Structures are given as structure tokens and as C-alpha cells.
């Protein structure tokens, strides 16, 4: 009877260990859920950026205002009727 009880306890400990820390166990599931959460957040950020870029593409295709704004900010261009003033500290 003691042998049966001891083997049952050992079996229960092995089963609990496998369930918690073994391959596909609770620890692996927790890590996968965390990884999925991180990936979903990254996907949301990238989707938002894609929406912004798609809107910018539409603006660039439809009108010259967006192109002019881009040339001013990225290239430092000015119109012929404007005066450029640079303040040096």
C-alpha cells in the first residue's frame, strides 16, 4: 500500500511538472500569449502608419499643395515671390 501511495505521489509530481514546465505546458502558453500580445501591438502601430502613408499618397496624387509642403519641409525650397530669412544666434 505504501508503495502504491509513493508511486502515486511521484506520478502526480511528474505530471504537475510536465503540465507547468514541460513542452506545451503552462509556461510555454504564457510566453506565447505574451508574444502574441506584443505582435498585435506592433501590428496595430504598423496598420496606423500604413493608413497615414495611404492618406499621404492620395494627397500627393490629387493636388500640388502636399507636394509643395513636402518640398518646403524636406528640401528647404521657397517660391520666387518669397523672401528667405535665416536667423543665426
Q: Which sequence spans correspond to the domains of the chain?
A: 23-74
pLDDT value, residue 45: 98
Give residue-wise pLDDT tens across range 1-55: 888 888 888 888 888 777 777 777 788 889 999 999 999 999 999 999 999 999 8
DSSP category for residue 25: S
Using alpha carbons, select from 38, 66, 40, 39 the residue that is nearest to residue 52: 66
pTM: 0.54
In the chain, the largest separation of any two C-alpha atoms, in whole Å, equals 102
DSSP category for residue 80: T
pLDDT value, residue 22: 74
Amino acid at each position: 500500500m505504501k508503495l502504491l501511495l509513493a508511486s502515486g505521489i511521484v506520478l502526480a509530481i511528474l505530471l504537475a511538472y510536465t503540465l507547468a514546465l514541460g513542452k506545451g505546458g503552462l509556461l510555454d502558453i504564457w510566453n506565447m500569449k505574451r508574444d502574441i500580445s506584443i505582435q498585435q501591438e506592433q501590428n496595430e502601430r504598423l496598420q496606423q502608419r500604413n493608413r497615414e502613408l495611404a492618406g499621404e499618397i492620395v494627397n500627393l496624387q490629387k493636388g500640388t499643395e502636399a507636394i509643395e509642403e513636402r518640398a518646403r519641409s524636406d528640401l528647404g525650397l521657397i517660391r520666387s515671390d518669397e523672401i528667405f530669412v535665416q536667423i543665426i544666434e
